[in-house]
Chains A and B, each alone.
Chain A
Amino acid sequence: MSSMDVKTVEVSVKGKKIMDFLLKEGKSAQKYVVGEVAKGLGEDLEKLIPILSDLSDKGLLKLFSEETERVELTSEGLLYAKDGLPEWNLLKILRDRKKRIEEIRETLGKNGAKIGLTWCMRNKWVKSEKTDKGALFSITAEGLEVLDKGLLEQKLLEKIAQNLVYLSDLNPEEIGVIGKLLDRNLLKKKIERKYSLSLSKALLEGKIEPILVVTALNRDLILSGAWKKARLKRYNLSARPPTTYIARKQPYLAFLDELKVKLVSLGFQEMIGPLVEPEFWNFDALYQPQDHPARTWSATYSIKKPAKGKLPPGGVVERVKSAHEDGCGTGSIGWRYKWSPEVAAKLMLRAQGTSLSARTLLKAKPPSKYFAIARCYRPDVVDATHLSEFNQVEGIVVDEDLTFRDLLGILKMFAVEIAKAEDVKFIPDYYPFTEPSVQLSAKHPEMGWVEFGGAGIFRPEVTAPPKVEVPVLAWGLGVDRLYMVKAGIHDIRNLFNEDLGWMRRSKVLI
């Protein structure tokens, strides 16, 4: 026989489990009570109904339901189902010998004794005789018979405790007893829907057959080999997947990381240093006079307490003093004022990354190249185009025979390598610590001409105090705008982005 004429019907794991249970002993046309099926499967009746309804829709079975009366135990009934009815317990203790009322009370309690005696006396299962020591109770022949046969009330209570008992399933004698138990308030009636089912005709005739469809594979299916008989559910591939959030580098920091890699690849060593500096490194060592406007409150953040830091040991402080006062033997006339170590010791938040270059000059040996990405601070009102803290990319090149042409060369290289510039322009500029000084304009493919950097050759008054005897090219690059264009950011505050959603969802920058 070809299996071609057997139609397979897809069922879930739960559906398959139910069908397997029903077909356990072969195909049968009998009617199954759903409550029994649920019990047999160890499942909740409520959870079973939707699955059965689905199987019924698929034509595997027929599901019937009718309103029916069921009885349930009251709390007192539940107690008796567990511990026994008082009359039943009384019969048991009177089986072997007569007992006085006190002894009965001792075992059954005062209340139990009263209820037990009432029922047993009324049914003539127990009789009493008068003695000198009071009444003595004993079991009768009818009582013994009940004891042997079992008490129907007790049996029903225990059955109801364990099963769903519908009035429609009981015989007239049992109905009668249920009536008594209802009167004694040991039971209550409950009206509910009663489900039953039978296998469908098509299934019984072998025209259709359930087949397992699996959504999620699991260890059981794999190990038991059940997957072989199963059909793996086909997915709708056009459905949107659930959103996954990954953790990433902060986008601006990731950009700076790549910039560092680039600078390292070009032979630059990284400089690091403190963000709170004595003014000495930020200004004095860079030949900025102590009354320079850049050193005033409006241009530099100073520290309230402690207000002063330590000046470096060795002769460098003396030589910086000399540079300011008389040119430090360089042929310079200097700034010609009385230099104060007190002013130089004042602590401030680093205002320019060049302070790191100033520190580095003390140890730099030619040939060498250095860079730093330094957090710098300026008392600006924070808005879309200003921050009070920002990063500066700065560096120096130290070697014999370096010239202004080399400075232009390095700037052009930066413009091409970092800003992908199509063209460069060099414009005269001014820095207190370099001469000649130059501004680098780069023609960016998207931004057009932008100021991309500033540079110069350190003045002799800067290189003489740390005893550097070769030219030092100093440069700084403005990379923030480059990043902002790349990342589509218009507000500079977003370099320090506070939007988690943007970080989770913004595209990778190549």
Chain B
Amino acid sequence: MVTISVSYEDLCNLLDGKTWEIEELDSLLHYAKTEIDTIIDDELKLDIKDSNRPDLWCVEGLARECRGVLGEKGLPQYKVNPSIAEVIVDSRLKNIRPFIGCALVKNISFDDYLIKQFIQYSEKKDNSYGRRREKTSIGLYNWTREGENILIPPIYYKVADPDEVKFIPLGFTKPMTLRKILEVHPKGRDFGHIIADNPYYPLLIDSQGNILSMPPIINSEGTGKVDEYTEEVLVEVTGTDWNAVNCVLDGIVTALAERGGEIYALTLNFPYEINGEKTFITPNLNPLEWEIDVNYASKIIGIKLTPEEVVEYLKIKRYDATHLEGEKIKVLAPAYRADIMHPIDIVEDITIAIGYDKIEPRWNPKMTLGELSFPTKYVYKIRDLTIGLGYQEVLTFSLTNPEYLTTKMLKENREQLIEVANPISINYSVTRNSLLPGLLNFLSKNTHEEYPQRIFEAGEIVQVVNEEIKIKKNLACITIHANASFAEIHGALDTLLQLLGTEYSLEETSHPSFIEGRTGKIKADNTELGIIGEIHPQVVTNWGLELPAAAFEINLGPLIEQAEK
């Protein structure tokens, strides 16, 4: 999901000039998979669900999509004027950041709002679709400003020595080397890693030696600062994916065209081949060709459609469509629709054009046998028995604090804990390898409640066995009160296992969390099921508790396996 902020008045103007009721506007935006999150005065916050359609992440694109429903059907028409300049690409970029697409947009008058909109659009595209600028990043530059030519073609997309070339990055006042910019500039620190390891860094520069930017990091203060005096703007997208670069360029160029801009192409000369070619003229707004089968669409949607209907629905969603013959329909999609990978994507657009609320739900499935999984059924029985023994069921988090599993339980760190690589909080940074610490933590929060307290949890734990992750279903019970003892917890375990038909024996053992001489290994056949004993007084104290406690924890895996046989 992508969230953008737009002007309500601007959106209405771009739609049809009418004043839209919020509820109706929300319904209309559903056609573009968008919902109104909040509206404060004129500011609309919009949630755009489709994370694969960057063309919708701006007010111009949303309005364009929705105008199809309002009657502006078929492909949006944009004129691309012939190429007026050349861009020359350096061969050394092939392994650094190989692709670039450019366009020139004239006759656009930027104001504060529009500049903010395009900054927002660029940032959303760079961060999400552009994978934080690794895949694509956008640059806008002054081609002419206040009647003055700022950039003189041809433009060179080349590489430069990070320690020799200097320019003033946006927002700064002094020139610095490319390497220094990566170290000092906020954008350099955020995105520098994308290029830092290369011997040369990408650079855009004009025929007069004016530096435009160091893609994908930062524009120069001189040419790369678009403001209300900008008259003609150069749009450039660099990246590592040719299709994505063009999709992003098409999206931003057509959005500028929606604001009255006139698009001029540029000629790109690559020293290496892309899809067998070296010279390209961008932007290429030629529509994408697809073919779909009316029967296929009908079968997916569940409504018998005619070719005429399909053509009509497609036009509502800004496609051009022609009925070829039989069930075949030729579909032309706007150039910015790089999200289409399969006819199913076009079928969804037909479904949206029909209107989800106009499709009658149907539910008459074939008979199937519903069933709980065997482990669930078995654990249900165990939970019932344990509750019958007087133990309150609790549910605790399976992510926990490593201290809880080690120091507080008097265990040393030796046992391998399974850490998440990217924890947000120390309290949720390892997966639990035992249920007991969670139960003790629970008890520690309830010392004001009347005793005796007896609680249990049946849940999953994670351990590493032979360097592989092993997930186990465990059961842990604990009793705490003035007279809690081994005998009591042993009685609970004994009853439970007897009723489950499991023969077991206890073998004296040592465990740091339990009292020496009052701790047993629980064994069934030759399998070790778990541990039982009186909790060590130091552990009781570590959890802020004040009464004797006794507990057991068993692995239910062998019991479930045995029962399933």
Interface residues of A (CB under 8 A from B): 243, 245-250, 252-253, 257, 260, 263-272, 274-276, 291, 293, 297-298, 301-307, 309-310, 327, 330-337, 347, 349, 367-369, 375, 377, 379-382, 388-389, 397, 399, 401, 403-406, 408-413, 424-430, 432, 435-439, 457, 459-461, 471, 495-501, 503-504
Contact = CB atoms under 8 A, between A and B. Distances in A.
Contact of A403 (B35, B302, B387): B302
B482 interface: no
Interface string B128-144: 10010011000000000
Contact of A428 (B33, B372, B375): B33
B51 to A, nearest CB: 6
Nearest to A399: B366
Given A247-B391, A381-B425, A430-B51, A405 B373 contact: no
Given A247-B387, A301-B399, 8 more contacts: A253-B393, A267-B365, A293-B131, A302-B422, A379-B424, A380-B424, A435-B345, A499-B446
B361 A425 contact: no
B31 interface: yes
B449 to A, nearest CB: 5
Closest 7 CB pairs of A and B: A403-B302, A409-B363, A405-B302, A408-B361, A332-B342, A264-B370, A436-B348
Given A330-B342, A375-B460, A500 B428 contact: no
Nearest to B460: A275
Given A367-B365, A435-B348, A306 B50 contact: no
Contacts of B356: 408, 426-428, 438
Given A248-B393, A305-B416, A498-B442, A291 B135 contact: yes
A389 B399 contact: yes
B499 interface: no
A260 B376 contact: yes
A382 B399 CA distance: 12
Contacts of A302: 420-422
A435 B431 contact: no
Given A334-B341, A404-B300, A382 B370 contact: no
A264 B302 CA distance: 26
Contacts of B390: 246-247
Contact of A249 (B393, B425, B464, B468): B393
9 contacts: A271-B373, A274-B469, A303-B420, A310-B468, A349-B431, A369-B365, A409-B364, A439-B49, A459-B344
B184 interface: no
B252 to A, nearest CB: 20
Given A249-B387, A406-B362, A379 B399 contact: no
Given A375-B460, A408-B361, A428-B33, A293 B367 contact: no
Interface in B14-59: 30-31, 33, 35, 49-52
Nearest to B48: A430
A498 B453 CA distance: 13
A264 B273 CA distance: 58
A260 B365 contact: no
Interface in B367-422: 367-373, 375-376, 380, 383, 386-399, 416, 418-422
Nearest to B376: A270
Given A268-B370, A270-B372, A427-B30, A293 B51 contact: yes
Contact of B370 (A293, A333, A369, A411): A369
Contact of B449 (A253, A471, A501): A501
Nearest to B393: A250
Contacts of A335: 341
A269 B449 contact: no
B394 to A, nearest CB: 6
B445 interface: yes
Contacts of B343: 331
B207 interface: no
B233 to A, nearest CB: 28
A246 B471 CA distance: 31
Contacts of A253: 393, 395
A440 to B, nearest CB: 10
A503 B394 contact: yes
B421 to A, nearest CB: 4
B454 interface: yes
A503 B342 contact: no
Given A347-B469, A404-B300, A404-B359, A500 B369 contact: no
Contacts of A336: 243
Given A304-B419, A381-B425, A367 B395 contact: no
B455 interface: yes
Given A275-B398, A302-B422, A501 B368 contact: no
Nearest to A262: B370
B399 A504 contact: no
A460 B445 contact: no
A232 B464 CA distance: 66
B213 interface: no
B357 interface: yes
A337 B356 CA distance: 33
Contacts of B372: 260, 264, 270
A381 B387 contact: no
A310 B425 CA distance: 28
B563 interface: no
Contacts of B396: 496, 498
Contacts of A459: 342, 344
Nearest to B420: A301
Nearest to A366: B366
A24 B251 CA distance: 112
B424 A388 contact: yes
B197 interface: no
Given A304-B419, A428-B33, A274 B471 contact: yes
A381 to B, nearest CB: 6
B164 interface: no
Nearest to A330: B342
A276 B469 contact: yes
A405 B342 contact: no
A347 B418 CA distance: 11
